[in-house]
Each structure stands twice: as structure tokens, then as C-alpha cells.
Amino acid sequence: MKYKILFILLIFCAGTTAFSDLIINQPTQKKRSAIQSTNAEFKERNYASQAGAYFDAINEIEAKVSQESDNYTYYVSLIDLYIKTSQFDKAYKELTFLNNLAKTNKLNSQVLQSISELEFSIEKSGKYNSDIAIDLALMNLILQNYSKAQDYLASASVNPLFLQAFKEVFDTTGNYQAGVNLVDRVLKINPLNKSLRKLKAEYLLHLNQKDNAIIEYTALAVIMPDDLEVKYNLYNLLEERNISEKDIIAKVCPQMTEEKAYSVISEMLLTNKNYSSAKIWAEKLINKYPENANGYIVMSEIYKSEGNLKECYDMLKMVRDKADDKDTISKYNVALAKLSDEPVKQADGLLNNGLYQQALSVLESANQDDLYVILSMARANYFLNNKQTAFELLNKAMTLYPNNSDVFYYFAFIFYQEKDLTSARDYINKSLEVNKENQFSLKLLDVINKAEADTYLNKISSNIDTQNFTEAMKLTDEALKIDKKNSALYFYKGMIFIAQNNYAAATAPLYKAIELNKNNFDAYYYLGVAFDNLSESKHALEYYKEFIKRLPSDDFGESEKRDYANARIKKLEG
């Protein structure tokens, strides 16, 4: 009985304990979940805090780098922080920079030791992905651990930076056979990687394994039909073997018509500046397919490279004439014009120095239908007294380029030279109607205005001498309507007012005469006279002195004015 009671008590205790555990454990589980949640939040906050510290450190070191760009230990610290903050592209960029320095032995032992320690630390952690593997490959490249560099590179073949890093490693080491081997390993996994296959072909060329290179480039020509570099390398390899034209076309331009192949090969050779071969293929294209514009385009570029501008123009004209839409015609008109830029520029220099015949010689080889070639030839012929030829050229320009501002300008220029100011003005107005901002026309208009206004000067002077002041003023005002920038006209207007003893009215036109021509010394003299008569001694003294200062040493027959001005200066200062 005693044992039964003990057994029941034990069961009761056990049940109570189990029940108590159940009661206690419910909130305990909740507490544990809460604690775990708190720990997760703590870790997250801790990570964020740590990341924040990393970014603060990055900003600090980047600032130091900008101040001490040759302290390369800072770069190693940056690389470490970039990797820790998963900025692998930035780390790669800095490692590439350091590798370029390493190639020329510009990294000291301290920097190399820092890179070695960083590499060891990352390697020891064992926590790296393909991004870190790329960076480790470059670290080992800098440290000249070439075997490890290649191993790390092989493990990162899926990385977007793989191809770039691949070239960095093998172009640095020059171990092209190892590069070919690694490409083959990667191609087993990804046989459609065109860029790697192209790199393999390039390395085969470095290794002088030309037969294998031909096999690789031939395959690439099929899968990369638009890659001109592939075609060019294959073409050169095949040319060395004296393969027939038909076989070259079949391999270099598979599945293309003969016409298309001629065009592609000639353009490809031109792009690579292989002018002699390009010329052969372009000539074949022109002879067999004369309606195909590409042959003429290639030939024009070849002639241009040789300096044979006349032949270049002829080819471009043929292209333009074969064009069937306005945009293409316009395009080749622009091309023709650009080809004339240099000879026109050279001719202008000769024309400005009066070497008219030499200018014509330069222009003979230029495009004879180019606007500025025609205009420059007209100018040269005019000054060589071939006036009829000059006008014929201008009429040609007017026919080819109707309603052109510069053509009107050249007509105005020649009429001005011929002293036909009326015709010159008509043409310069037409020029400015087409282009109101034509600077040459605006300047010539000023010259024409001055020339026409100057025709009034003798009449005005004669009327002043005969004291016919009303007519003199009328002529002056008429002339100023033509040329508002003529200093002499304002001077005469001031003189007329002084002759009429209207000294106050004289000051404004005399001021304007000086504004337009600071060296109009007579205007200073008469301003002195005007202010002297207005009893404004200070201004009178100022302008008498300016007159003496600006009067030439030979005084141009102005001795009486000089003597009078000196006397008045002495009197006014006394």
C-alpha cells in the first residue's frame, strides 16, 4: 500500500512537472522567439552599422587617394573595402590599375606585401564567389603567381568580367598557350561563347599556329558574319596561301553573293587601311557591277588617302549621280563640299597675299562644282584682270546655287571693286535678305555705305567754303542717312554749326565724330573752340590739349590751329 501511494505521488509529481513545463514553456517559447527576433534585429543593425562604417572608411580613403594619388597602399585598402561591401566592379578597376603599374615595376615591396596579405586573408576565409575569384586572379597576377591567377580565373568563367580579366591575365603573362587551353576548358561548358572563340583565334595567331587559326576564323566567319575583324584576319591568312578568289569569298563571306562579297571585302580592307588590296577588290566590283555605288565610295576614299582629290571628286560624283533619293544626293554633295575645304582654305591664304595665279593652280585639282571653289576662282580671275571669266564663274555659281547669300556677296564685292556702288548695294541687300547674319555682307555694307557717303564730302566742303550752309547741311543729312558711322560727316555737321556761331549745337556732332574716330584731331580742336565760346573754360582747355596731343608732328598744315590752341591753353591756365 505504501508503495502504491509512493508510485501515485511520483506520477502526480511527474504530471505536475510536465504540466508546469507546459505552462512555463508556452511563454518561454514566446520569449525565446522574441529573443531570437531581437538577436536577428541586433545582427541586422550590427551589419548595417558595420557596413556604414565601411562606407565611411571608403569615403575617407577615396579623399586621401585624391590628395596622394601615388600612395598605392591606399588603393589596396580601398580594394579590401570594396570587396567587403560587394563593390566588385570597383575593386576590379583598382586592381587593373595596380596591375598596369606592376608591369612597369612601379609598385614597391610594401604595396606588394599588402596585396599578398589581402589575398591570403580572402583565401583563408574560403568565402568567395566568382566576383571575388576574378579579383583574386588579378591579385595573383600582380604578385606574379601566374598559375594561381589562371586557376582563379578558370573558376569564374560565368562572370561578366571574365573576358576582360582573361585578357588582362594572358596579355600580361604572354602565356598564350595556357590561354588557349583555358578557352578550350570553358568552351566545353559553353561552346557558343563567340567572344572567347575569337580570343582563342587571336592567341593562335600569336602562337603562329596559322592552320588552327584558319579553322577557328573560318568557323567564326559563319557564326559572326558582321565581324570585320574576323574577316580581315581570315583574309590575311588565306592570302598568304595563295588561295583562289572564289575560295576566299566562300570562306570570308559565306552565304553571300559575289557582288555583296566584293563590297564587304573592299570595305573591310579599306577600314584596315590596306589600300592596295582594297583598290583591287573595289575595281573588280566596279567592273563587274557598275551600278553598285559601294565600289565608287571605296575608290573615292582610297584616292583621298593618296591625295588624288580630282579622282576622289570624280568617284563621289558618280555615287551622287547614281543616287535615287534626295537624302543620299545631299549626303554626297556635303561629302564633295568637305573635300574642297582644304584647297579652298589654302587658296584663300594665297589670295589674301595677292598670289592669284598660285591660288588658281591649287583650285584646279578641286571639285569644280563646289560653291566655294567657284567663288574663290572668280575672285582670283577678277584680280588677274580676267573679268569676263570672273563673271562667268559667278553666273555658274548662281545657276548651281540659286538664292545663295554668299553668291550675292561675291557679286556685290566685284561691283564695289568696279566702283558701281548702286549694283553693289543691290546685291549686298539681296545677300542680307537671304542671311541677315552674313558677317562678310554686313562688313561690305558698311564699306559701301562709307564709299557712297564719301561722295558727298567734296560737295559739303565746297558749300561750307562758299558759306552755303543750308545746302551743306542738307547734303550732310542725306549722307548720314546712307552711312551713320561716318566720322567725317559728323565733323562737317559740327563745322557748319560753328560757322553759324551755333556753338551749343556743334558739340553733339563733334562728340559723335570723336566717338567714331578717336584720331579725328580736328574734332577735338573745334570742340575746344565751341566750349571756349560757351565760356566753359575747363572743357575748352581739355579739348585744346587733346588736339595738341593728337596732332601729328608734321601737323598736316594745321600750324595756325596749333598756335591758336597753344595760346588759348596758356591763357586759360593763366
Residue 288 maps to a domain: no
Residue 53 maps to a domain: yes
Residues 469 and 421 in one domain: no
Final residue of a structural domain among 46, 67, 88: 67
Final residue of a structural domain among 17, 51, 67: 67
Would you state the pLDDT for residue 18?
34
Task: Please give the average per-residue pLDDT across 162-183, as a whole number.
Answer: 83
Give the range of the structural domain holding residue 565, as residue numbers without chain letter: 460-573
Residues 464 and 545 in one domain: yes
Helix axes 371-383, 326-352, angle to 10 degrees: 30
Residues 357 and 447 in one domain: yes
Q: What is the pLDDT of residues 450-472, one digit of tens each?
A: 887 787 888 888 888 888 988 88
Residues 489 and 535 in one domain: yes
Provide the CATH number for the domain around residue 394: 1.25.40.10
- The answer to whether the beta carbons of residues 410 and 379 sit under 8 Å apart is yes
Q: What is the DSSP string of 19-60?
A: HHHHHHHHHHHHHHHHHHHHHHHHHHHHHHHHHHHHHHHHHH
Final residue of a structural domain among 401, 427, 452: 452
Residues 443 and 502 in one domain: no
Give me the amino acid identity at 34. A
- DSSP H helices in 68-161: 72-84, 88-103, 109-125, 130-142, 146-154
pLDDT for residue 4 is more than 70: no
**Cα 573 from chain centre:** 64
Would you state the pLDDT for residue 28?
41
- Contact partners, residue 117, CB within 8 Å, separation at least 6: none
Residue 203 maps to a domain: no
Residues 432 and 467 in one domain: no
Please state, for a pLDDT cut of 90, what percent of the chain lies above it.
17
Residues 411 and 465 in one domain: no
Residues 509 and 528 in one domain: yes
Q: What is the pLDDT of residues 112-137, one digit of tens each?
A: 998 898 888 888 887 778 888 888 88
Residues 398 and 470 in one domain: no
pLDDT for residue 39 is more than 70: no
Of residues 166 and 110, which shows the higher confidence score? 110
Residue 378 maps to a domain: yes
Would you state the pLDDT for residue 199?
85
| Long-range pairs, 224-228, Cβ under 8 A, ≥24 | 224/194, 224/198, 225/254, 225/255, 227/198, 228/264, 228/267, 228/268, 228/271, 228/272
**Mean pLDDT score of the chain:** 81
* Cell triple for 128: 568567395
Residue 523 maps to a domain: yes
Residues 417 and 479 in one domain: no
Residue 411 maps to a domain: yes
Handedness of CA 374, 379, 382, 383 (dihedral sign): negative
pLDDT for residue 323 is more than 80: no
Place of cell 539681296: 430
540: number of Cβ within 10 Å: 22
Would you state the pLDDT for residue 173?
82
Q: What is the DSSP string of 220-258?
A: HHHH-TT-HHHHHHHHHHHHHTT--HHHHHHHHSTT--H
Q: What is the DSSP string of 479-495?
A: HHHH-TT-HHHHHHHHH
Residue 149 maps to a domain: no
Residue 333 maps to a domain: no
**Cα 363 from chain centre:** 29
Residues 549 and 516 in one domain: yes
Band (pLDDT 50/70/90 cuts) for residue 174 is: confident
The Cα 148–Cα 185 span in angstroms is 16
Report the domain count for the chain: 3
Residues 355 and 446 in one domain: yes
Q: What is the pLDDT of residues 412-421, one digit of tens each?
A: 999 988 888 8
